[in-house]
């Protein structure tokens, strides 16, 4: 019976995955990916609309969490195309190969079954920015000028902090002395510099905020930053599968210069237009395409995110209950094995959730299934531990009374031990459910959607309203789930255990 | 009825029960008595199969107990402990009938047996739907006894059944238990540390000390011909409060 339940849970998992048409991959739908920053999302929208305008269905998997996620998904064939930068390919993804010219880069990509278009027309390299006032006060014009001011507070995007062509390389190249350097989300850095808590941040050359916040980019006087030409990276097999599509992609090459891109970014980030609308507008005016950007209403988005979130939680939590309950029982029955089971579940719990999501990509790709597996793993420990605790804390007198009656072990478990530990087991399931609802907001980073999607977008666009659009329903869902389990408690926990101890003799 | 041959049990380096032989005759009440830690409870728990002996064999009604037949043998024994060990999530009725239901007795038979026992332990059927937490200590022990007698076992094991009750209730229940034992004519093994209770129940006392049997017989025999000075000391220590009481009351 358990096998059947697990089976149907996985069938349901597949259904969850199908919210994203990708996994139902009919070969005609071109899968477009984008990274979780505005420029990438706008370019992703453009790609999808260009393809659709040519009569091919396309699906845009927006704001996936970082270069590695997209690169992995492209290699696995879960996406067909995404916007990338040549600098990122050379310096980060293929850094080990020390690629020089574009020809060498194309060759390295070809060996992996990938191709890239020519430059879209802009070089979005890194830059180092300070506020205009500070630049005037300290007479800062070049990066070398920073050497004279070791006390400056620096805040860099997490990716820039860690990559070889980011802060570590820049510091070595310019021998920069600053110690007060912190890593943070790139989008938060602007707010940091506006509020004065940061003085030096990293920029992208096409960032919309440079003008908005009155920032000045310092000149790369010693030529450290590599070229970051924007290109479209796609699977070579796309040319045989859908030759028309590749021709459409090539149309975008050389059509967007840096000023245009910064303007598009500003339309979204500062003027708050939808990416789809901004992309459509560009395609209509510059390429004369009849592009349509669908704009969804708050309620449509809420309904979709709720469904996605509920499916993620329901499937992962039910599977965790089905696995953790027997494990907890086993742990209580075999104390020595039990120690190992509890230790293993504890170790799984310590894996940072984002890392766990990313580990799943090579195994299960992106989208619903890897998110469900990661959430399942996180839900195990509270249930295993509480089942174990509930069973081992049953008073000896009661356990022995059941034995002395001559009840066989399985009946003892069913009639006596499980009902008596029901309150503790339910408490564990409740904890797991609340953790699950919260952690599921991270699943958006690997393309599984849910309430994390508006939160991600909201952080990116510095839009509190959008953040709340994800955070509030997530909190409400956590409370609702808890309420459901409290109601269940009244059904599952035997009446005799909910009585107050009576006094007297 | 019950026969122990060279049964022993160690916990780590301490011997809870040294290799012990004991014959419990059928239809009588045998009382295991001795100071705390003398092994009397261990002996009873060995018989109930709650702990496994290190050596020796236990025969109940001619059957040698093995791990394979333990559950079957247990259904021919009733077991009552100090705090009753009632299942707090089950009603009085379910506590008593759980095992009969598991064995798929017909409902009418269960009902009839439940009525007989409720009458025997002088409990009101109105308490059937109550939960253990809603009962007094004395009522709980009565339910515990019903549960132990449900399958009409040949052997009844009681581990300090009245130990947690206050003196008035205890006095009343002692009398009732004794009359039930006399009426049923079952083989009873009862553990207590109270010599007055032992003498009141016991056709035969088994006095234990430090994991071994010191002397067996009636209280009169133990008092008249103590096997060693410990027997005399144990009896007189327990007589002392009674002597004091008599002295004060004149």
- Nearest Cα residue in chain B from A502: B134
> Does residue A143 contact residue A170 with C-beta atoms inside 8 Å?
yes
| Rounded Cα–Cα distance for residues B221 and B205 (Å) | 10
| Residue B161 near residue B81, CB atoms below 8 Å | yes
Instruction: Write out the two tokens for A254.
Output: 């050389």
Looking up tokens 């599921």 gives A440
A505:B169 CB<8 A: yes
- 0.80 exceeded by the pTM? no
Q: Is A2 part of any domain?
A: no
Q: Are residues A146 and A209 in the same domain?
A: yes
The mean pLDDT of B64-88, rounded to a whole number, is 87
Residues in chain B: 250
**Long-range residue pairs from B11-17, CB within 8 A, at least 24 positions apart, any chain:** B15/B211, B16/B42, B16/B211, B17/B42, B17/B43, B17/B46, B17/B53, B17/B211, B17/B212
What per-residue confidence (pLDDT) applies to A500? 55
A457 inside domain: yes
Would you state the pLDDT for residue A330?
Answer: 92
- Residues of A within 8 A of B137 (CB-CB) are 505
- Which residues does chain B have within 8 Å of residue A410's beta carbon, measured at their own beta carbons? none
Distance, in Å, from the CA atom of B58 to the CA atom of B49, rounded to the nearest integer, reads 10
Q: Other CB atoms closer than 10 Å to residue A477's CB: what's the count?
A: 22
pLDDT at B105: 92
Q: What are phi and psi of A79, to 5 degrees?
A: -125, 155
Predicted confidence band of residue A98 (pLDDT cuts 50, 70, 90) = confident
Asked whether residue A362 falls in the same domain as residue A465, the answer is yes
Q: Which residues of A57-85 are buried (b: 16+ CB within 10 A; e: fewer)?
A: ebbbbbbbbbbebbbbbbeeebbbbbbbb
Residue A327: per-residue pLDDT: 92
The residue among A197, A218, A239 that closes a domain is: A218
Q: Which two tokens stand for residue A475?
A: 């909190």
Segment B167-196 shows an average pLDDT of: 87
Residue A472 falls in which region: left (phi positive, over 0), alpha (psi -120 to 50) or beta: alpha
Least confident of A1-10, A353-362, A410-419, B212-221: A1-10
Same domain as A487, residue A404: yes
Q: Which residue of A has its CA nearest to B50?
A: A400
pLDDT given at position A293: 67
Q: Is A398 in contact with B82 (CB distance < 8 Å)?
A: no
Q: Are residues A47 and A167 in the same domain?
A: no
Residues B153-157 have a mean pLDDT of 91
Residues A307 and A447 in one domain: yes
Residue A65 placed within a domain: yes
Asked if residues B172 and B150 have their Cβ atoms less than 8 Å apart, the reply is no
Q: Is residue A24 predicted with pLDDT exceeding 50?
A: no
Q: Give the CATH number of the domain where residue A75 resides.
A: 3.40.190.10
Q: What is the pLDDT of residue A386?
A: 93
Interface test with B, best of A398, A403, A404 (most B CBs within 10 A): A404
Over residues A115-145, the pLDDT tens digits come to: 999 899 888 888 899 988 888 988 888 999 9
A234 in the same domain as A203: no
- Judge contact between A419 and A494, C-beta under 8 A: yes
Q: Between A335-350 and A298-333, two packed helices, what is the crossing angle to 10 degrees? A: 150
* Chain A CB within 8 Å of residue B5 CB: no
The pLDDT, as a whole number, for residue A102 is 85
Q: Specify the pLDDT at position A9.
A: 43
Picking from A192, A218, A244, the residue at the C-terminal end of a domain is A218
Q: Please give the distance of CA B39 from its chain centroid, rounded to a whole number.
A: 14
A406 confidence band (pLDDT: 50, 70, 90): confident
- Whether B124 has a pLDDT exceeding 60, the answer reads yes
Name the nearest CA neighbour of B104 among B151, B54, B51, B164.
B151
CB-closest option in A406, A419, A504 to B99 = A406
Euclidean distance between CA atoms A212 and A214, whole angstroms? 6
Range of the domain at A271: 34-123+228-286
Whether B102 sits inside 8 A of A407 (CB atoms) is yes
CB contact under 8 A, B86 and A407: no
Are B177 and B3 spatial neighbours (Cβ–Cβ below 8 Å)?
no
Q: Domain B2-76+153-249: what homologous superfamily? A: P-loop containing nucleotide triphosphate hydrolases (3.40.50.300)
In chain B, which residues have their Cβ closer than 8 Å to the Cβ of A390?
Answer: none
pLDDT digits (tens, 9 = 90+) for A282-332: 988 888 877 776 667 778 888 888 888 899 899 999 999 999 999 999 999
Mean pLDDT within B153-161: 89
Is A494 within 8 Å of chain B by CB? yes
Same domain, A308 and A378: yes
Count of CB atoms within 10 A of residue B167's CB? 8
The whole-angstrom distance between B47's CA and the closest CA on chain A is 10
pLDDT score for A358: 76
pLDDT > 70? residue A462: yes
Arithmetic mean of pLDDT over chain A? 84
Kindly state whether residue A18 falls inside one of the protein's structural domains: no
Please check whether residue A400 touches B, CB under 8 A. Answer: yes
In a domain, A381, yes or no: yes
| Helix, strand, coil shares, percent, chain A, to 5 | 65, 10, 25
For chain B, give every domain's residue range.
Answer: 2-76+153-249, 83-152
Chain A interface includes B71 (CB < 8 A): yes
Do A348 and A456 share a domain, yes or no? yes
- Supply the angle between the helices A298-333 and A464-492 in degrees, to the nearest 10: 40
Residue A11's pLDDT band, with cuts at 50, 70 and 90, is very low
Tokens 């191709």 correspond to what residue? Answer: A115
CB-based contact A488:A427 (threshold 8 Å)? no
At residue A467's C-alpha, the angle toward residues A465 and A472, to 5°, is: 90
A261, A367: one domain: no
Q: B79 and A416 in contact by Cβ < 8 A? A: no
Structure tokens belonging to residue A376: 């399942």
What pLDDT is stored for residue A486 in this prediction? Answer: 86
- Chain A residues touching B89 at Cβ < 8 A: 416, 419-420, 494-497
Q: How many residues in chain A?
A: 505
Strand ranges inside chain B, DSSP E: 2-11, 14-24, 29-33, 55-60, 63-64, 77-81, 155-159, 187-192, 204-209, 212-217
* Rounded Cα–Cα distance for residues B74 and B157 (Å): 11
Among A266, A286, A306, the domain-final residue is: A286
Q: Does position B20 have pLDDT exceeding 70, yes or no?
A: yes
Q: Closest chain B residue to A395 measured between Cα atoms?
A: B85
Q: Looking at the complex, does the CB of residue A419 fall below 8 Å from at least one CB of chain B?
A: yes
Predicted pLDDT at A65: 77
Least CB-CB distance to B85: which of A397, A411, A419? A397
- Dig out the tokens for A53 from the structure: 């305008």
Chain B residues with CB under 8 Å of A402 CB are 87
Residue A244 sits in the same domain as residue A321 = no
Q: How far apart are CA A456 and CA A440, in angstroms?
A: 13
Residue A246 and residue A339 in one domain = no
CATH of the domain at A364: 1.10.3720.10
Q: Do A406 and B87 lie within an 8 Å CB cutoff?
A: no
Residue A397 sits at the chain B interface (C-beta within 8 Å): yes
Q: What is the DSSP letter of A401?
A: H
pLDDT for A417 equals: 92
Q: What is the ipTM of this complex?
A: 0.88
State whether A318 and A175 are in the same domain.
no
Please give the tally of structural domains in chain A. Answer: 3
Report the phi/psi class of residue A109: left, alpha or beta, with left for phi > 0 and alpha for psi in -120 to 50. Answer: alpha
Task: Tell whether A6 is covered by a domain.
Answer: no
């Amino acid at each position: 019976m358990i096998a059947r339940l697990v089976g149907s849970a996985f069938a349901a998992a597949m259904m969850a995955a199908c919210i994203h048409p990708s996994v139902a991959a009919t070969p005609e739908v071109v899968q477009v990916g984008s990274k979780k920053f505005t420029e990438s999302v706008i370019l992703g929208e453009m790609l999808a609309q260009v393809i659709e305008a040519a009569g091919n269905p396309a699906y845009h998997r927006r704001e996936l969490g970082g270069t590695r996620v997209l690169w992995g998904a492209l290699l696995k064939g879960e996406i067909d195309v995404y916007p990338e930068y040549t600098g990122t390919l050379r310096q980060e993804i293929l850094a080990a190969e020390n690629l020089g010219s574009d020809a060498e880069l194309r060759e390295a990509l070809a060996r992996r079954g990938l191709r890239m278009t020519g430059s879209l027309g802009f070089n979005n390299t890194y830059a180092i920015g300070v506020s205009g006032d500070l630049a005037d006060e300290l007479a800062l014009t070049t990066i070398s000028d920073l050497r004279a001011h070791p006390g400056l507070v620096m805040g860099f995007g997490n990716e820039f902090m860690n990559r070889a062509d980011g802060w570590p390389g820049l510091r070595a190249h310019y021998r920069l002395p600053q110690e007060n350097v912190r890593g943070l989300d790139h989008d938060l850095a602007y707010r940091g510099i506006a509020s004065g808590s940061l003085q030096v941040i990293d920029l992208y050359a096409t960032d919309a905020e440079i003008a908005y916040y009155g920032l000045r980019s310092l000149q790369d006087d010693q030529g450290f930053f590599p070229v970051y030409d924007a290109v479209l990276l796609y699977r070579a097999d796309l040319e045989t599968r859908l030759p028309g599509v590749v021709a459409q992609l090539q149309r975008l090459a050389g059509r967007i210069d840096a000023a245009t891109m910064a303007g598009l970014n500003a339309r979204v980030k500062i003027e708050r237009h939808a990416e789809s609308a901004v992309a459509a507008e560009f395609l209509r005016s510059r390429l004369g395409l009849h592009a349509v950007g669908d704009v969804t209403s708050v309620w449509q988005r809420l309904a979709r995110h709720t469904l996605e979130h509920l499916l993620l939680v329901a499937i992962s939590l039910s599977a965790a209950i089905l696995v953790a309950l027997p494990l907890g029982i086993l742990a209580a029955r075999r104390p020595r094995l039990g120690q190992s089971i509890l230790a293993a579940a504890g170790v799984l719990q310590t894996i940072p959730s984002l890392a766990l999501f990313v580990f799943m990509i090579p195994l299960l790709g992106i989208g619903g299934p890897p998110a469900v597996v990661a959430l399942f793993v996180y839900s195990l420990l509270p249930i295993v531990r509480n089942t174990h605790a509930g069973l081992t804390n049953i008073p000896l007198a009661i356990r022995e009374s059941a034995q002395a009656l001559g009840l066989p072990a399985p009946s003892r478990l069913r009639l006596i031990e499980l009902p008596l530990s029901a309150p503790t087991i339910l408490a564990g399931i409740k904890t797991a459910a609340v953790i699950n609802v919260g952690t599921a907001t991270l699943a958006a980073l690997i393309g599984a959607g849910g309430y994390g999607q508006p939160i991600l977008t909201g952080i990116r666009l510095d839009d509190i309203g959008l953040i709340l659009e994800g955070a509030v329903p997530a909190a409400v869902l956590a409370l609702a789930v808890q309420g459901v389990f409290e109601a269940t408690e009244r059904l599952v926990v035997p009446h005799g255990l909910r009585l107050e101890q009576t006094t007297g003799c | 009825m019950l026969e122990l041959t060279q049964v022993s049990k160690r916990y780590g380096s301490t011997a809870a029960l040294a290799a012990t032989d004991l014959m419990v005759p059928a239809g009588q009440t045998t009382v295991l008595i001795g100071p705390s830690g003398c092994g009397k409870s261990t002996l009873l728990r060995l018989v109930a199969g709650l702990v496994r002996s290190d050596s020796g064999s236990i025969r109940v009604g001619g059957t040698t107990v093995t791990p394979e037949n333990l559950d079957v043998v247990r259904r021919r024994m009733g077991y009552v402990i100090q705090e009753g060990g009632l299942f707090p999530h089950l009603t009085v009725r379910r506590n008593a009938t759980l095992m009969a239901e598991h064995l798929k007795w017909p409902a009418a038979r269960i009902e009839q047996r439940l009525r007989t026992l409720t009458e025997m332990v002088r409990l009101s059927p109105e308490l059937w739907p109550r939960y253990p937490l809603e009962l007094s200590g004395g009522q709980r022990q009565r339910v515990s006894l019903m549960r132990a007698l449900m399958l009409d076992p040949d052997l009844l094991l009681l581990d300090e059944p009245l130990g947690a009750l206050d003196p008035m209730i205890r006095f009343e229940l002692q009398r009732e238990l004794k009359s039930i034992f006399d009426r049923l004519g079952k083989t009873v093994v009862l553990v207590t540390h109270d010599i007055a209770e032992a003498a009141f129940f016991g056709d035969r006392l088994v006095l234990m000390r430090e994991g071994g049997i010191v002397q067996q017989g009636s209280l009169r025999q133990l008092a008249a011909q103590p096997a060693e000075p410990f027997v005399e000391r144990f009896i007189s220590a327990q007589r002392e409060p009674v002597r004091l009481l008599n002295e004060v009351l004149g």
